Each structure stands twice: as structure tokens, then as C-alpha cells.
A and B are shown apart, each in its own frame.
Chain A
Amino acid sequence: MFKFVLRRLIITLPMVVIVVSLTWGLIRLAPGNFYSGEKKIPAAIEKNIREKYGLDKPWYVQYGRMMGSVLRGDFGNSLRYQGQSVNQILLMTLPVSATLGLFSYLIALLVGILAGTLAALKQNSRLDYASMALAMLGLSIPNFVLGPLLVLVLSLSLYWLPPARWGGFPSWNLVLPVLTLSGVYMAYIARLTRSGMLEVLRADYIRTARAKGLSERAVVFRHALRGGLLPVVSFTGPALAFLISGTVVVERIFALPGLGNYFINANLNRDEPLIIGIVAFISIAILLFNLLVDVAYAYIDPRIRY
């Protein structure tokens, strides 16, 4: 186990290098520059800027500098947000995105597992059909549609909830973004739980548990749930990755000062250090989360050993 974790941690480094290199290459391939705007800049000023940011050097020198700063963990200063380092921006925006993402996933887990388990226990009942129909709906509506719809109904028509902006944690401002972000996951987890539980409930060892005379509650919670939830656990790895792309959209819709919103701005501004910084940070986060999921998997299923 220790060896496995160590191996995975070591492999993280080359992965991040590859992701960052690809990102850097793509930025450079795109036409335009961070200083090229609507107004034409005089040639002398352009030359100054290029010298200042090292853009006059050959590409491999620029690449080397960039990679060096990434490996040192110091992404340099933002080109757009004057006087702020990328690390400062990361520290500032991370709590917003993490709150939104983790809170959404927790809600999705809670509601999804509950709905999925109930649906499995009452297979082919009205409850089952209703929750699975809702889940289908949740899967089919993209978050950029669900978000504005919720705003339209719950804030702009009914005036129940604030439509946008960050209000800290906890605050009413959080409700709509979390609902918007968690919708798809709730639906997906409900379906995963249902099918996982249905399979396990037919398993021989559940029959054994019943033959012992255990109550239905003990059969479900003590014996079935663990195996039934394995698909949900393995989904959590990729889910966290999707969650991050989800926060990008949702933060934009609700004007939240999170990582995702800054990421969009950074791209629009061609703010290279900030883009690289956020990409590197997110890829490390995803790799670590996946490692965490694998470790959790081994903990839940004793047959799995690394």
C-alpha cells in the first residue's frame, strides 16, 4: 500500500509536466497576445513589453523559464491583475471553488445514495419510477441551462433566493450554485446506487444474511450498502474532475470569485502565468483525488490490494 502510494505520487510529477507543457504549447499556438487589444500599440512599446516579459528570447528559453517556475511552485505574477502573484490569486479563489465543489458533491452523495437505495429497495414501485425519471431529467439538463432556469424561477420570480454573488459560507447565496452544480451528480449517483444495490441485493451473501434472521435494516445497511456503493466510489474520481469543469461554468453564471471564473478571465486575457498556474494546480488536485479514491477503494473492499 505504502509503495503504491509512493509510486503514484512520484508519477504525479511527470504527469503535471506533460499537462503544463501541452497547455503552454496551446497558448502559444493560438494567435494574438496578452498585450494585443483593440488599440494598436506602437512598435517601440511592443518591443519594450516583449523584452520585459522575455518574449524576445527563443521559445525553448521561454519554455525552460516557465517550467522552472512551475517546478519551484512559484508561478510568477499575473499579467493582468497587476501586483498580484498567481499564488495569491490561487489562495484567494480556492476557498470559493472548494466550498462550492465539495458542498455540491456532498449534497449529491447524500441525496443520490438515499434516492438510489430507496429506489432499489422498492424496485418497480412508484417511488422507483419517480426518482429514476427525475434522475433522467437531471442528467439531461446541462448546468448552464439549469442555473439560469433556477435563477429565473427561484430568485427573479419568487424572490426566495439571491440570484448571484458570493456571500461566504454559509449563506443563502450558496443555495442556487450548489443546486445547479450538484444536479447532474445527484442524478448520476442515484442511478449508480440503484443499479449497484439491485445487483448486491440479489447476491448470495445477502440471502445468507437473511437466512441468519437479520432484520431488513441490518441486511441493507450492514451487508448490502458497502458492496452497492462501490460503483459510486469509483465514480468519485472522475466526478471530481468534471466537478471542476462544472464549477467553471457555475461560477460564471453566478458571478462567484472562484478558480473557474478567474480561469475564464485568464484565458480571455491571455494571462499566461495565471492559466499555467491554475492548470497545474487543477491537474495536481485531480491526480491526488484519484489517488485518494483508489486508497479508499482498497479500504472499502478488502479483496483489493495494491
Chain B
Amino acid sequence: MSSQNGNLLSVKDLRTYFETEDGTVRAVDGISFDLERGETLGIVGESGSGKSVTNLSVMRLIPEPPGRIVSGEIIFHGQDILTLSPEEMRQIRGKQIGMIFQDPMTSLNPFMRISKQLMEITQLHLGYDKDQAYRHAIKMLDTVGIPDAEARVDSYPHEFSGGMRQRVMIAMALSCEPELLIADEPTTALDVTIQAQILELIKNLKRDTGTSVILITHDLGVVAGMSDHIIVMYAGKVFEQSPTRELFAQPGNPYTKGLLKSVPDPAHEHGRELYQIPGLPPDVAHLPPNQCPFAERCYRVEDICRREFPPFVKLNDEHFSLCHFAGEVYAQSRVESDAKTAGANRRVAGTEASTGGGTQR
């Protein structure tokens, strides 16, 4: 957690608010996290939890007005990018931080050839001339797995499928070999088989280039295989923060447990109705400050949750949870996980017995 030299990005107490007719929306309300070089960080949460706003803040792409970064620090490469001039910020965008957006169908300019959209970024940041930029564009398309890149580079976006367009977006984001890649729900708008391909692509490119990645998603299944650390966000706050493996094995927050329970598990719950967290995400414009924002939806709720804002509890060196009963939930998860493992073992043992025990798990 401490900000070492290994940190590429360090966000401290970031607050981004939006002024609306309905009042001040505290979309991001005191977020802190660190990202080490070469690491992948997953940010998970329901719609409206502040995931995207956090990362648009890092890019300083919050539309102002109505949005405003009220306070906090975003230390990238040792400097606070909130203090940079717009001109200096443009040097970072696209060059040192690349970004992929959710909807590849609308994120590319429909009036401009792919080649031109890819070329303008290297011409701008790397000072390439037209020829170099054009060759680089072809190379990037090739890298992201677009077949026959040379022939297709001059296409318009509408001539590409959704998955191909997302590949183009990735090619664009990685054109200048940025140190940080922010992927904002990169697979949400794609169908499932393409999702897997795109995730695999990001994973491979990350491995080859050593880029750090922030992966925003509402799908725990997506981050599970990708990220080193996970942040769970709710109502503009970090609810839980943990290494990926531990978060899945032993969550320390009722909200995270709800999210994990909502992931379909066809192997063990066949025929059973899929779990969902009761209620809806809160209206962050009208959130009472002195209660837990999740209280109304929580299975573990007690009086104190409605009276006091919960503490950010340190469960171990790398694992934190925002809950009055964090320790208790954490311990409970341990018991459940042990029971589950034991149960799974029993089932496996049973299968082996009935089939003569040929298969290994």
C-alpha cells in the first residue's frame, strides 16, 4: 500500500463531483489506490459506482462543467497530474496513458478511415511523418490480430465488426507504447466468444510490452483471470481492496460477497435461481453521510450501519474492507471457503469412486 518507487500511479483521496439539478453527485468520493509497474489492477462495481469516473479523472477527461475534481492527488510518474496545464496533460494522454472504451461501435470516428485515426496519434506524439505513421498503423493492426492488415487499414470503422473495432481501439491505445493502459469495460459490448479473444489479446500485449493495466468491469469473471489486485467500488467509495486470489477465496465485505454470489456457477447451482443483491445502487446525490451506503441492501446490517459511516479496516497487509464487521465477515468467509473446499473434495472423491477414479482434478 505504501507509495514506493515501484508505483507507476498513485491515487490519493480523489474526489470527483458532478453538479446536477438534482444536487451534487459525489461520483467518486475519496478513492485511494496504487498501481505498480507491470501490474494489472481490476476495478469492479455495479453501474454508477464510480469506476469510469475514477479513470476519466486520471485522464483528466471529466467534462467540466458539470464535473469537477474537487480534491485529491493523482501521482503519475512522480508528478501530480492534477497540477499540470492542459497542454502538459495532452502530452500524457495517448502517449503515456492509453485508453480503451466500452463501446467500440461508437468510440471510433465513423467519418474517418482507420488508417488516419491510427496515424494521427503517432504523428502527434512520436513525430512520425505520414509514411512512418502509415507503416506503424499497419504494424499495430497486425499486432492486435487483424488479418490482412495492409489491405484493411484504409477501411472505415463501419466496415469492421465489433470485435475488430475493439482491436483497432486497442491498437490505437497502444500505438505509442504507453506505460499505462486503462481499459474501461473493454468487453461489455461484445459477445461472449469475442470477449474471451479480446481479454486474451490484452493479456498477451501486456505480457509483451510490460504495460501496466487498469481493467474496469462489472464482471468479476473478467478480472479473475486478468488482474493482480482488485478494487471493489460502491457509491463512489472503495469497499474492498485485495489481491485477486484472496478476494475470491476470502472476501471481507458483504457487498463483495454479494457480487461473488451473483456470478453464475453452473457446475454447482444447476437449476437454482441466480442470486442477486437485493435493492438498487443508491442515488449518490442524496446519500446521508453518516451511514453505510450499502446498509439498505446488506444481509449483515445492524443498527450501527445506519448510524455511522463504516471504517476502512485493514484485514492484512494488502487486504482492506469498508465495513463495521469487516473482521467478522472475513473470518466467516474463511469458514465457508474451507467448507466449500471440503465439499468439493468430497464430491470429487465421490465421482472417482463411482467411475472407478480415472480422472484427476
- Which chain B residues in 78-108 approach chain A with CB under 8 Å? 90-95, 98-99, 101, 103, 106-108
**B56 nearest in chain A by CB position:** A207
C-alpha spacing A301/B157, complex, angstroms = 12
Residues of chain A with a CB closer than 8 A to B59's CB: 211
Stretch at the interface among A53-61, A166-174, A222-230: A222-230
Contact A207 B90 (CB under 8 A): no
| In contact, A302 and B124 (Cβ under 8 angstroms) | no
Whether A213 contacts B61 in the complex (CB less than 8 A), given A208-B108, A222-B120, comes out as no
A205 CB contact (under 8 Å) in B92, B98, B107, B158: B107
Chain B residues positioned under 8 Å from A218 (CB to CB): 120
The B116-134 residues at the A interface (CB cut-off 8 A) are 120-121, 124-125
Closest beta carbon of chain B to A152's beta carbon, Å = 44
Chain B binding surface SS class: mixed
Question: Nearest Cβ in chain B — how far from A65, in angstroms?
Answer: 51
A134 within 8 A of B: no
Knowing A213-B124, A303-B156, A303-B158, the reply to whether A204 touches B172 (Cβ < 8 A) is no
Residue in A closest to B118 when the chains form the complex, CB atoms: A212
**For residue A303, which residues in chain B have a CB less than 8 angstroms away from its CB?**
110, 156, 158
Bound: A223/B112 CA distance, A: 8
**A215 in the interface, Cβ–Cβ < 8 Å?**
yes
With CB as the reference atom, state the residue of chain A lying closest to B104: A204
Q: A210: nearest residue on chain B (CB-CB)?
A: B61
The answer to whether residues A204 and B107 also contact, given A213-B95, A214-B120 and a CB cut-off of 8 A, is yes
CB nearest to A208 among chain B residues: B107
**Considering only CB atoms, which chain B residue lies closest to A123 in the complex?**
B65
A209 to B92, CA, bound (A): 13
Are A214 and B111 within 8 A (Cβ)?
Answer: no
- Closest A residue by C-beta to B159: A302
| Chain A residue at minimal CB-CB distance from B155 | A302
Interface residue? A285 (CB, 8 A): no
Using A205-B109, A302-B156 as known contacts, say yes or no to A212 and B103 having CB atoms under 8 A apart.
no
Contacts of A208 in B (CB 8 A): 99, 101, 107-109, 169, 172
Q: Which of B93, B98, B110 touches A302 (beta carbons < 8 Å)? A: B110
A226: chain B residues at CB < 8 Å are 111
A300 to chain B: which residues have CB within 8 Å?
111
Asked whether A213 and B107 contact (CB < 8 A) given A223-B112, A302-B158, A303-B158, the answer is: no
Partner of B111, one of A207, A210, A211, A301: A301
**Are A207 and B107 in touch, CB under 8 angstroms?**
yes
- Minimum distance in angstroms from A93 CB to a CB of chain B: 40
Q: List, in ascending order, chain B residues with CB within 8 A of A296's CB.
A: none
Complex-state Cα separation, A80 to B59, whole angstroms: 74
Please give, as numbers and ranges, the residues of chain A lying within 8 Å of B125 by CB-CB distance.
213
Alpha-carbon gap, A218 to B93, bound state (A) = 14
Q: Are A212 and B120 in contact (CB under 8 A)?
A: yes
Determine whether A203 belongs to the interface, using a CB cutoff of 8 Å to chain B. Answer: yes
Q: Given that A204-B101, A207-B61, A302-B158 are known contacts, is A215 also in contact with B90, CB under 8 Å in the complex?
A: yes
- Given A204-B101, A204-B103, CB of A209 within 8 Å of CB of B109: yes
- Known contacts A207-B101, A222-B120, A302-B156; decide if A212 and B110 are in contact (CB<8 Å): no
Within 8 A of B (CB), among A69-102: none
Contact flag A213-B101 (CB < 8 Å), given A205-B110, A302-B111: no
**Bound form: Cα–Cα A218–B125 in Å:** 14
In the complex formed, the residue of A with least CB distance to B156 is: A302
Partner of B94, one of A205, A207, A212: A212
Q: Bits for A192-223, please: 1 = Cβ < 8 Å to B, else 0.
A: 00000000000111011111111100100011
Question: Which residue on chain A has the smallest CB distance to residue B96?
Answer: A213
Query: Do B172 and A212 have beta carbons less than 8 Å apart?
Result: yes
| Also in contact, A213 and B92, with CB within 8 A (given A222-B120, A302-B158) | yes
**Which among B91, B92, B112, B169 has the greatest number of chain A C-beta atoms within 10 A?**
B112
Residues in chain A near residue B101, CB distance under 8 A: 204, 207-208, 211
Q: Mark B148-166, 1 if CB is under 8 A from A, else 0.
A: 0000000010100000000
Most buried by A among B98, B101, B111, B124: B111
Q: How far is the CB of A252 from chain B (nearest CB, A)?
A: 42
Looking at A203, A214, A218, the one whose CB has the most chain B CB atoms below 10 A away is A214
Q: A214-B90, A215-B90 are in contact. List 13 more A-B contacts (CB 8 A).
A: A204-B107, A205-B106, A205-B107, A205-B109, A208-B99, A208-B108, A210-B93, A211-B93, A212-B172, A213-B93, A214-B94, A300-B111, A303-B110
10 contacts between A and B (CB under 8 A): A204-B103, A207-B61, A208-B169, A208-B172, A212-B121, A213-B91, A213-B92, A215-B90, A227-B110, A300-B111
